[in-house]
Every structure is written in structure tokens, then in C-alpha cells.
Homo-oligomer: A and B are copies of this chain.
Amino acid sequence: MTPKSVPSETTDRLFFYLRPLMCLVNEGTETVLSRELARICRVKPSVVRKDLSYLGSVGTRGVGYNVKSLIESIRSMLRFDQDIRVAVVGVGNIGRAVLEQSRFELEGFRIVMAFDSDPEVVGRRVGKVVVEDSAGLEERIEAEGIRLAILAVPESAAPKVARTLGNAGVKCILSFAPCELAMPSNVKVTCIDLSVTMARLVYHSYSEEQCEGPG
């Protein structure tokens, strides 16, 4: 039971608000109106206000929302108030891209380990970590108490590696392999599936065309 039953759409949007808010704070903006945040995120102002109302009364009537305290409130509600430690498994093209993304640190993630089975890659430094041998994966991840792993291994290896991660106590897997991982329900899996994403995108582009086309 959540304290007051926050709609899941609302929590999804709260995550989404965080990035523009951090941009605003970097630009030195102190206050933001529901109208502005709505414009940036392409939702309605009333949606923003309703969503933020689940945080309590975090705004000031007649003035708007204080950006910094808004970020804090959101991160607190989303259990995102301390850095999340991440392990990357598989250092191919995708794994490298993730490891070299320095932005993650600014956004509350810390990549603390990377694994690969290729001797060519093991021992090399990529981003801020040195790639370790997959052989020690389970033990190392369990020892470090890693909650979230990014799975960037070939599809053929994915289910096996995922099981190992589950045994090591990982609770979340972000997978780039577009296949069923068959994990128990206590391990949450999200799959980045480009085919599905692209197909949806194209579909929606046709629908819009119909709506906006000349009558």
C-alpha cells in the first residue's frame, strides 16, 4: 500500500520532470511555474499541478515552485535521494557507450563495475572502471550489494547471465537483449527494445498525419 495511492502515471512523469528541473537549476533559475514545466515536458499545466500535489503543498500560490526544493521533494518521493550503484555486464558497443556516458554521475548513478568474458577487453579501463572477468561476476556483485545491472551481452548469452545476476542478489536488470529473460518476480526487468520502439513511433507518425492533414 502506497501512503496515498499515487497513480503510476504520476510517478512516471515525476521522473520525467527531474531532468528539465536540473537544467533549470544549472541555468540559475530559482522558480518555475506549472505552465513552464508543462510546456517543456509537453503536458498540460493542470497535469503538472496535480502530479506535484502528491508531494504535498510544495508550491507557493501566486508565485510558483522553488526549483531546488522541488527536485528534492521529487527525489525523496521516488526513493532516488542517494546515488544508485550500477554494474555493466558486457563491454561491446553498447556497454562501452554506457560506460563512457559521463552524464550518469550528474544524474545520480555511479557505475562501479564492468564485466566481460573477452580476454582482450578484461583489464582495460573503460570510462571510470577497469573491466573485470565475467568469471567473478556473481561473487563480486554479491559482495558489493549491487541492486541494478545493465545487461549488454549478446542475446544468446543474456538469459544465462541474467540468472547469474539474479543469484547474486541483483533486483533490477536493464537489458538491451530483446528477449525473454524468464526471471523470478522479485527481479524487475526492463528491456530496451528498439524494434518495438521504432514500430510504435512510425505508427504514431501516421496517426498524427491523419489528424493534422488538410481536410
Spell out A's residues near B (CB within 8 Å). 2, 11-12, 15-16, 18-20, 40, 78-80, 84, 86, 92-94, 96-98, 100-101, 103-104, 107-109, 147-148, 150, 155, 171-172, 174, 178, 180, 185-188, 190, 192-209, 212
Picked from B20, B40, B147, B209, the residue with its CB within 8 Å of the CB of A202 is: B147
The answer to whether B203 touches A78 (Cβ under 8 A) is yes
Which residues of chain B have C-beta atoms less than 8 A from A194's C-beta?
98, 101, 104, 150, 174, 192
Picked from B2, B40, B190, B202, the residue with its CB within 8 Å of the CB of A201 is: B190
Number of copies: 2
Contact A200 to B15, CB < 8 A, known contacts A194-B174, A195-B109, A212-B186: yes
Complex A-B: 27 CB contacts under 8 Å: A11-B203, A12-B200, A15-B196, A19-B196, A20-B180, A79-B206, A80-B202, A84-B202, A86-B198, A92-B97, A93-B93, A93-B97, A98-B194, A101-B194, A103-B155, A103-B178, A147-B205, A148-B202, A172-B198, A172-B202, A185-B212, A186-B209, A186-B212, A188-B204, A190-B201, A192-B192, A192-B194
